[in-house]
Amino acid sequence: MSHIDEKKALKEYQNEVLTTAKKTMNSNDVDYVAEDLRSPCTQEIAVFRAFAELVAQNDSDVVVVDTAPTGHTLLLLNSTQSYAQEVAHTSGSVPQAVVNLLPRLQDPDQTEIVMVTLPEATPVYESMRLDDDLKRASLAHTWWVVNQSMLATQTTDPCLLARVQSEVKWIDQVKELSNNHFAVMQWQPNYEKTLLTV
């Protein structure tokens, strides 16, 4: 399992940009670049580049990126051109991995995004918003997974049956949204432990 160390990625990126700047710029311009590298977007650029390089590696048949269904994540995935322009502005060169990332993510032969949600209102609505954003970004996404379903356990416990009934609406919603391309995973008492051992 790969992990991007954000602090390390940031430091490496800052060092790379400053080393390049010192080759062609005077000290005032280098100071300006150093100041610019302290802006919040610099860390995003550094992490984005590390992500692009990770995806570009050819040592895996499958790369799985597990991330929350937030606009921030989609922004990183969908803003390759903006990041490329910003990288070019600060360092003068854009890594090929960054240039290739969005076309690779948009190619359904290379990328598939699986939407994972819970059978509850808020997670389904969040996933629906992400679904719309992914469509606008032309990012492939066919399959959905409904996780931690009490319905899938086939419980007969009278108390839990109320929970089962509340899930039906949201599972039906996912069924419709996914055009019947979905799976329902049953609730497990040791879910966190299962995730770590799989």
Over residues 184-196, the pLDDT tens digits come to 999 987 655 444 4
99 and 125 inside one domain: no
139 and 185 inside one domain: yes
66 and 128 inside one domain: no
Classify residue 1: in a domain, yes or no.
no
- Asked which of 80, 106, 132 is the last residue of a domain, the reply is 106
Q: How far is CA 108 from the centre of its chain?
A: 16
65 and 156 inside one domain: no
Distance separating alpha carbons of residues 51 and 72, to the nearest angstrom:
14
102 and 11 inside one domain: yes
pLDDT score recorded for residue 109: 85
Average per-residue pLDDT for the chain: 81
Pairing of strands 182-186, 144-149: parallel
Its domain, for residue 138, covers 115-197
pLDDT score recorded for residue 149: 94
24 and 45 inside one domain: yes
90 or 163: whose pLDDT is higher?
163
Classify residue 92: in a domain, yes or no.
yes
Residue 146 pLDDT more than 50? yes
- Asked which of 62, 79, 106 is the last residue of a domain, the reply is 106
Domain count, the chain: 2
Residue 181 phi/psi, 5-degree rounding, is: -105, 75
Q: What is the mean pLDDT of residues 142-168?
A: 92
- Asked which of 71, 106, 141 is the last residue of a domain, the reply is 106
18 and 102 inside one domain: yes
Q: Could you tell me the pTM of the whole model?
A: 0.67
